Amino acid sequence: MAIMGAFTLYFLLPIFWLLVSSTKTLGNFNSTFSLWFTPTSITDMGNNLVNLFTYNEGVFPRWMLNSIVYATVAGGIGTILAAMCGYALSKYDFPGRELIFNTVLGGVLVPATALALPLFLIFSQVQLTNTFWAVFLPSLVSPFGVYLSRIYAASSVPDEIIEAARIDGSGEIRTFFTVAVRLMSPALVTIFLFQFVSIWNNFFLPLVMLRDQTLFPVTLGLYTWNSQVSQIPDIRTLVIVGALVSIVPLLVAFLSLQRFWRNGLGAGSLK
């Protein structure tokens, strides 16, 4: 219990610091105790938020929107692709299956940052750098998702059910979407969450690919601001408040999807 408490504190303290710091003016940030609020916290926080959303013609909400689009759309499509791929690798026997699977598995080991530069050179060839697609397309693939889908499909989608569906006249694609996806849903939620978080936190790929600020995800935008602090010190408060706001969608995604995740585990146990 004590250990759990210590760990909880360890993880929550930085977030608490972020919360407290975002309620301060720049002056108070430097001069007051950094882990507690000031008497003017509520109004200062309001001002900070207004400044954040209006600074530089409202570029911050644009970054948030970009991040949400990159993370939900690419994460969603990526999850479906991974599920189809993993299901196929698990349920169909075809030559080269293990080779494909092992290649994908190898992809899990390659860090995404190592691929950013080669991707940049490839995208340069087709003139797609500094576009929406430069960040969107590479975000669609998730080797780990394929791996997880295959493992989960093997254990949670019985061959007999697929057989029964075939006998009832269901096509393969219909079987996948109506039967397999439902059985695999806990794994799909997990894959989506992983994808969502990794796209949301993906920083290096956009750094290399993008130079148009209106395409930036929020991570890169905040990083850009942070590198301007020495010229315009007032930006520091915006970076802090922005960092706080930028974790809100992650919290929402986790808290709302956690429910499905638990449901899925429960459903599995009835079998």
Neighbours of 153 (CB within 10 A): 21
Q: In this complex, which beta carbon is closest to other proteins, that of residue 40 or of residue 113?
A: 113
Q: Is 111 left (phi over 0), alpha (psi -120 to 50) or beta?
A: beta
Q: In this complex, which beta carbon is closest to other proteins, that of residue 85 or of residue 134?
A: 134
Residue located via tokens 């969107």: 136
User: With binding defined as CB under 8 A, does residue 121 bind other proteins?
Assistant: yes
Binding-residue pattern over the window 65 to 104 for other proteins, x denoting contact by CB under 8 A = ----------------------------------------
Tell the smallest beta-carbon distance from residue 201 to other proteins (Å).
7
Q: In this complex, which beta carbon is closest to other proteins, that of residue 178 or of residue 228?
A: 228
Residue type, 266: G
Tell me the DSSP string of 96-133: THHHHHHHHHHHHHS-HHHHHHHHHHHHHHTT-TTSHH
# chain residues binding other proteins, by CB under 8 A = 46
Q: In this complex, which beta carbon is closest to other proteins, that of residue 15 or of residue 164?
A: 15
Distance, first Cα to last Cα, the chain: 34
Cβ(210)–Cβ(216) below 8 Å: yes
Q: In this complex, which beta carbon is closest to other proteins, that of residue 95 or of residue 118?
A: 118
> From the list 40, 102, 227, 263, which residue makes contact with other proteins (rule: CB under 8 A)?
227
User: With binding defined as CB under 8 A, does residue 262 bind other proteins?
Assistant: no
User: With binding defined as CB under 8 A, does residue 199 bind other proteins?
Assistant: no
> From the list 77, 243, 257, 267, which residue makes contact with other proteins (rule: CB under 8 A)?
243
Using CB under 8 A, which residues numbered 4 to 33 contact other proteins? Answer: 14-15, 17-18, 26-27, 30-31
Cβ(214)–Cβ(135) below 8 Å: no
Give the residue among 18, 135, 157 at the shortest CA–CA distance from 87: 157
User: With binding defined as CB under 8 A, does residue 64 bind other proteins?
Assistant: no
Measured at the CA of 94, the angle between CA 90 and CA 100, to 5 degrees, comes to 70
> From the list 54, 113, 178, 258, which residue makes contact with other proteins (rule: CB under 8 A)?
113
CA distances from 4 to 7, 13, 176, 255 (A): 5, 14, 41, 20
| Separation between Cα atoms, residue 268 and residue 196, nearest integer Å | 24
| Separation between Cα atoms, residue 191 and residue 123, nearest integer Å | 26
Which two tokens mark 165?
């569906």
User: With binding defined as CB under 8 A, does residue 105 bind other proteins?
Assistant: no
Tell the smallest beta-carbon distance from residue 136 to other proteins (Å).
19
- What does the DSSP 8-state code read for residue 73? I
Q: In this complex, which beta carbon is closest to other proteins, that of residue 55 or of residue 260?
A: 55
User: With binding defined as CB under 8 A, does residue 46 bind other proteins?
Assistant: no
What residues make contact with other proteins under the rule CB under 8 A? 14-15, 17-18, 26-27, 30-31, 34, 113-114, 116-117, 120-121, 124, 127, 129-130, 201, 203-204, 207-208, 211-213, 219-220, 222-224, 226-228, 230-236, 239, 243, 246-247
